[in-house]
A and B are shown apart, each in its own frame.
Chain A
Amino acid sequence: MSTHTPDAILLGLDVGTTNVKAVAIDPSGNQLALASRPQAIAYPRPGWAEHDPEAVWTLACEVLRDAIGQIANSSRIVGIAVTSMGEAGVTLDRDGQPTGPLIAWFDRRTGQQVARFSAQADDRRLHAITGSPMQPILTAAKLMWLQDNDPVAWNRTERFLNVSAWIAHRLGADPAQDMSLASRTGLFELSTRRWHPELLAAANLRENHFGSLSEGGTRIGSVSRFGSEATGLPIGAAIGMAGHDHVVGAFAAGAIGRGDAADSIGTAEGLLVALDAPIADPAICETGITQGAHVAPGRYYALGAVYSAGASIAWAQRAIGSNRPVSDLIAEAGHIPAGSYGVMFVPHLQLAMLPHLDLEARGAFIGLSTDTKTAATFRAVLEGLAFEGRIAWDLIARFAELDRITDVRVLGGTAQSDLLVAIKASVANAQHHVLQLEQATAVGAAMLAGMAAGVYRDADDAVTQVHTQSRVIEPGPADEIATYETMYSTVYRNLYGALRPLSHSLTRLFPIESSGHA
């Protein structure tokens, strides 16, 4: 049922931690409108972070009105979908009013609840079932926190909706739960794409505390009069199921087929590989690789993350780069040969996520000599990020029984990061395609809206129809690839394990100050 609708306009709304953005695209992916507003966040106590649900809704409405105002004929809008940050949502009473705070995804208030949840569902088992290890940020722990700390509010709570589903619900959709964000609850069984009854019981939750489970791109309702009045969206426009922002961004990048790889480079970095079935080998739970349900229906993904990616570059600029412009430092690093004369960097400046989640890990520079100058150390930082990323690709490829990753779609790449991407291409010996897709997350939501509106037949059709320009960055010459291969296999791959006892001693002696996440 392919509807040929070249005039159709699709809207994607991206509710993120720092910004709320809306884009409008035509079915080929051309951007017709873009609006963005900064998101507000409060830090009521150390380790706590909250958004005000009503303020988030108001902001979403403003951003949508702004974007729609940029479109000549808004009646051509046929669909909208909303994507949002990970483990964050709203508890609602029977009238749909919030009963508690909108706890930010990275909030760490749930220590006691995590301990209680762990007692009933051990970490390995949880990891094997849900694809993620026990973490204080999981939705289950947040809901248990409300149970423990505000029983009155919990008693009034009928349902929990992730931010994306909640905004969609206010626009007119049925209460729904997408599977990519369900994968971040600690309650969802990946292999069956269903809630896991024992895990629900362990968290004192029931299936009907959540919206009905829906695949990405499913039509979950239509824009209501209320939704239309609030935003300017036409009444009756399709509302599509989107989901977790990282996964929606990878969808926009076209990473939906088995082995498709997307590298999203920001302050943090996500290295995602689309899969058609979850990795079943329980040994995956020993690694820092997490898994989840893709927004492409029936598909999965495996994800490795680098917590301090852009953050490491910014750190090096301050700590060893005399605060000179990053562009200058990168230009000088470009004149240093591959291998940085043997200087190597480990980017675990806050924590390690590869090869294992390790909150006590620390960064390092090794291989320094009296000849070492700033440019070589700066290049070593870029190479360290590339080696760290290679760990993710190798782990995923090995466990998913994929051939080597040969092509990587790069999101968040800029001309300034070309040296980093070129190094990554040589380190991974893989072609890197830097996508010209600045608003990937919002565009991915719009594509899922297009599926719901019938503009695209299915996920593959959406990915085929949306043309994204890209620049190809090839791996370097054979000797460069060989140099990196030896450094990786001889040194980098073994470095984390060797430094671990030293890092743990240092972290015990000098606890790492919790970062601001501002």
Chain B
Amino acid sequence: MNDTPLLLGLDLGSTNIKAVIYEPDGTSVARASVPCPTHYPQAGWANYDIEELWLTCVDAMRRAVSQVEQPERIVGVAVGSFGEAGALLDANDEPVAEMIAWFDQRCRVQYERMVDGADPDRLFAVTGTTVQQIMTGPKIMWHRDQDPEAYARATSWLNAADYIAFRLCGVKAQSKSLASRTGLIDLRAGDWSDELLGLADIDRALLPPVLDGGEPLGPVLPDVQRQTGLTDNALVAVGGHDHPCGAFAAGAIRHGDFLDSMGTTECTFLAIDRPLDDQTIGRQGYSLGAHARGSFYMYGGLYTAGIAYDWFKHLAADEVSHDAVLASAGSVAAGSGGVVFIPHLRLSNTPYPDSRVRAAFVGLTAGTDTPTLVRSVLEGVAFEARAASEPLFTHAGLPVPDDCVVVGGTARNNLLLRIKASVQHQRMHVLDIDEAGALGVAMLAGIAAGVYETVDEAAAAIKRPEHIIEPVTADYPVYDALFAEVYQHMYPTLAPFNHFLFDHFTGQQL
């Protein structure tokens, strides 16, 4: 008989819904991944059918649980999800509308009405983030504008992960990390802000209490036990937002821990012990938020990271294999002969939040060939990540660390990692974690179930296999010179031209 307790983490991602079952040291013993059913009723819109979403979660959990010989060993369950999406429920807890996807663009009018006349610095001071049109206030306002009768029946709103947790155990709570992405909470107080609710004209009664991740909610409901194979032993806990939960799994939980999640986009994440007050942080587009449990974080990031390489390879070297493209780019000397790329292919990034931008190559010469351009794209992504992450440390009053923990899909691109290491003067620790988002919520479930006593104990219990990519110190001078003398000037130099080109041409290509 094996009596090692197991923990189930369910992670709702934009692409897939994943259920993974872990041992307390983070070793996964069962997993299932099911595509997240998404509906696109019109351009710029995206919906989830709430019942379909729940049934998909059940399906993923059932498949994972069925791989475990003694499901009664599963002592904890928690749910994580994308932010900025939620369910509006009536008194019988039936959905009164579809769930609008986090990235949906329909709520611009409501957003503008909500922030009209508000001081952005004040909003940042309260919420820790720039209030955006994808956040909860404008989404609830949209439902009210669209169908006032249905809205009149609504009695509660739950973020996606919190709604699934409610379906598991019948207890409503808002995870603090997801609540901090609604744009409606007072980050310091850890509770709903009457000031922000007032701007959106939302009744506080609509919003269940805010709880930290890892707080116990209750056992799995009998019906759900039958549907999923979970047993009475499984305690449902408050989960949270996928980004901070993934950072928790990667060990970035104590003040000053830094994590770089490299994917199509890239997130630079710094754990901090208290919210910071400097308004510059908000003006530069950085956000503060509630961490998985008990502490805070500050993050910035790149809207185009790994996708920049995919884009350029498709444009200039579609017929060539990735290995061959990267090998030839790897043989180009650091600095790409003075060709510099700025990867603002769809939005600009911290510290220059600007939606009206475009990417550029400068420094082209007759000798610039395809491998040189590919390398300059990778170097541009690394320069941009350096530009986005350095202010995090400045704002937190911390030195830039010598080590950088990285996770994510693009972390398999060794040339990019080597360039990044040299551009950032850091040793890259590439973690091999099986679904960091799911593991993070499983760890929260473990805290609720008593598998771990504390956050620190949970973080310390996890085994994280890693490999290290060393920087090329000989490349520091050339990268430092390019960064300081050229890269840092590119955004302001190009901004006026980009604003014109963006306004004049965006949308023409659709």
Q: Do A and B come from one complex?
A: yes
* Given A339-B505, A372-B315, A374-B316, A365:B367 Cβ within 8 A: no
* Given A319-B370, A377-B315, A364:B337 Cβ within 8 A: no
CB-contact partner of B485 in A322, A487, A505, under 8 A: A505
As a 0/1 sequence over residues 496 to 518 of chain A, the CB contacts with chain B under 8 angstroms (1 = contact) are 00110111011101101101000
Q: Within 8 Å of chain B (Cβ to Cβ): is A38?
A: no
Complex contact B364–A505 (CB within 8 A): no
From residue B98, how far is it (CB to closest CB) to chain A in Å?
Answer: 28
Chain A residues with CB under 8 A of B510: 371
As a 0/1 sequence over residues 222 to 265 of chain B, the CB contacts with chain A under 8 angstroms (1 = contact) are 00000000000000000000000000000000000000000000
As a 0/1 sequence over residues 67 to 84 of chain A, the CB contacts with chain B under 8 angstroms (1 = contact) are 000000000000000000
Q: Which of A185-193, A225-233, A342-350 contacts B (4 or more CB under 8 A)?
A: A342-350
> Which residues in window 299-331 of B have CB below 8 A to A?
304, 307, 311, 314-320
Q: Within 8 Å of chain B (Cβ to Cβ): is A477?
A: no
A108 to B373, CA, bound (A): 30
Q: Within 8 Å of chain A (Cβ to Cβ): is B476?
A: no
Complex contact B338–A365 (CB within 8 A): no
As a 0/1 sequence over residues 292 to 327 of chain A, the CB contacts with chain B under 8 angstroms (1 = contact) are 000000000000000010010001001111100000
CB-contact partner of B358 in A308, A369, A509, A515, under 8 A: A369
Complex contact A320–B373 (CB within 8 A): yes
From residue B446, how far is it (CB to closest CB) to chain A in Å?
Answer: 40
A365 to B358, CA, bound (A): 10
As a 0/1 sequence over residues 473 to 496 of chain B, the CB contacts with chain A under 8 angstroms (1 = contact) are 000001001100110011001100
Measured CB to CB, the nearest residue on chain B to A511 is B338
Measured CB to CB, the nearest residue on chain B to A508 is B485
Complex contact A509–B481 (CB within 8 A): yes
Q: Within 8 Å of chain A (Cβ to Cβ): is B10?
A: no
Q: Within 8 Å of chain B (Cβ to Cβ): is A331?
A: no
Q: Within 8 Å of chain A (Cβ to Cβ): is B504?
A: yes
* Given A342-B501, A342-B502, A315:B494 Cβ within 8 A: no
As a 0/1 sequence over residues 347 to 368 of chain B, the CB contacts with chain A under 8 angstroms (1 = contact) are 0000000000011111111111
From residue B276, how far is it (CB to closest CB) to chain A in Å?
Answer: 32
Measured CB to CB, the nearest residue on chain A to B477 is A509
Complex contact B335–A350 (CB within 8 A): no
Q: Within 8 Å of chain B (Cβ to Cβ): is A341?
A: yes
Measured CB to CB, the nearest residue on chain A to B482 is A509
Chain B residues with CB under 8 A of A341: 505, 508-509
Complex contact A319–B316 (CB within 8 A): yes
From residue A246, how far is it (CB to closest CB) to chain B in Å?
Answer: 21
Chain A residues with CB under 8 A of B316: 319-322, 374
A320 to B361, CA, bound (A): 12
> Which residues in window 54-82 of B have CB below 8 A to A?
none
CB-contact partner of B335 in A363, A365, A370, A510, under 8 A: A510
Chain B residues with CB under 8 A of A364: 360-364
Q: Within 8 Å of chain A (Cβ to Cβ): is B346?
A: yes
Q: Within 8 Å of chain A (Cβ to Cβ): is B46?
A: no
Which of A369, A498, A503 is the most central at the interface, judged by chain B CB atoms within 10 Å of its CB?
A369
Complex contact B369–A342 (CB within 8 A): no
Which of A346, A367, A372, A483 is the most central at the interface, judged by chain B CB atoms within 10 Å of its CB?
A367
A319 to B329, CA, bound (A): 13
Complex contact A486–B504 (CB within 8 A): yes
* Given A319-B316, A319-B368, A363-B365, A490:B493 Cβ within 8 A: no
Complex contact B369–A502 (CB within 8 A): no
Complex contact B345–A505 (CB within 8 A): no
Q: Within 8 Å of chain B (Cβ to Cβ): is A398?
A: no
CB-contact partner of A366 in B360, B486, B509, under 8 A: B360
From residue A182, how far is it (CB to closest CB) to chain B in Å?
Answer: 32
Complex contact B304–A370 (CB within 8 A): yes
Complex contact A374–B359 (CB within 8 A): no
CB-contact partner of B498 in A322, A367, A501, under 8 A: A367
Complex contact A502–B500 (CB within 8 A): no
Q: Within 8 Å of chain B (Cβ to Cβ): is A362?
A: yes
As a 0/1 sequence over residues 86 to 103 of chain B, the CB contacts with chain A under 8 angstroms (1 = contact) are 000000000000000000
Complex contact B486–A505 (CB within 8 A): yes
Chain B residues with CB under 8 A of A337: 508
Number of B positions contacting A (CB below 8 A):
52
Which of B489, B497, B502, B510 is the most central at the interface, judged by chain A CB atoms within 10 Å of its CB?
B497
Q: Within 8 Å of chain B (Cβ to Cβ): is A495?
A: yes
Measured CB to CB, the nearest residue on chain A to B485 is A505
Measured CB to CB, the nearest residue on chain A to B304 is A370
Q: Within 8 Å of chain B (Cβ to Cβ): is A373?
A: yes
Q: Within 8 Å of chain B (Cβ to Cβ): is A368?
A: yes
Chain B residues with CB under 8 A of A494: 497
Q: Within 8 Å of chain A (Cβ to Cβ): is B279?
A: no
Chain A residues with CB under 8 A of B486: 502, 505-506, 509
Which of A319, A349, A499 is the most central at the interface, judged by chain B CB atoms within 10 Å of its CB?
A319
Chain B residues with CB under 8 A of A319: 316, 368-370, 372-373
> Which residues in window 361-385 of B have CB below 8 A to A?
361-370, 372-373
Complex contact A368–B360 (CB within 8 A): yes
Q: Within 8 Å of chain B (Cβ to Cβ): is A491?
A: yes
Q: Within 8 Å of chain A (Cβ to Cβ): is B506?
A: yes
As a 0/1 sequence over residues 17 to 47 of chain A, the CB contacts with chain B under 8 angstroms (1 = contact) are 0000000000000000000000000000000
From residue B45, how far is it (CB to closest CB) to chain A in Å?
Answer: 19
Measured CB to CB, the nearest residue on chain A to B490 is A502
Chain A residues with CB under 8 A of B367: 512-513
Chain A residues with CB under 8 A of B490: 502
A513 to B373, CA, bound (A): 17
CB-contact partner of B338 in A344, A490, A499, A510, under 8 A: A510
From residue B191, how far is it (CB to closest CB) to chain A in Å?
Answer: 39
Chain A residues with CB under 8 A of B502: 342
CB-contact partner of B315 in A373, A490, A491, A506, under 8 A: A373
Which of A319, A342, A368 is the most central at the interface, judged by chain B CB atoms within 10 Å of its CB?
A368
Chain A residues with CB under 8 A of B493: 498-499, 501-502
Chain A residues with CB under 8 A of B392: none
Complex contact B361–A367 (CB within 8 A): no
Interchain Cβ contacts under 8 Å between A and B, 26 examples: A315-B366, A320-B315, A321-B316, A322-B319, A337-B508, A341-B505, A342-B358, A342-B506, A344-B501, A349-B364, A349-B366, A350-B365, A363-B364, A363-B365, A364-B361, A365-B364, A366-B360, A368-B358, A368-B359, A368-B361, A371-B509, A372-B311, A374-B316, A490-B497, A503-B363, A509-B335
- Which chain B residues have a beta carbon within 8 Å of chain A's beta carbons? 304, 307, 311, 314-320, 335, 337-340, 345-346, 358-370, 372-373, 478, 481-482, 485-486, 489-490, 493-494, 497-498, 500-502, 504-506, 508-510
**Leading 10 A-B pairs by shortest Cβ distance:** A510-B338, A342-B505, A363-B364, A342-B501, A506-B338, A368-B359, A366-B360, A506-B363, A367-B501, A349-B366
- Which chain A residues have a beta carbon within 8 Å of chain B's beta carbons? 308, 311, 315, 318-322, 337, 339, 341-342, 344, 346, 349-350, 362-374, 377, 483, 486-487, 490-491, 494-495, 498-499, 501-503, 505-507, 509-510, 512-513, 515
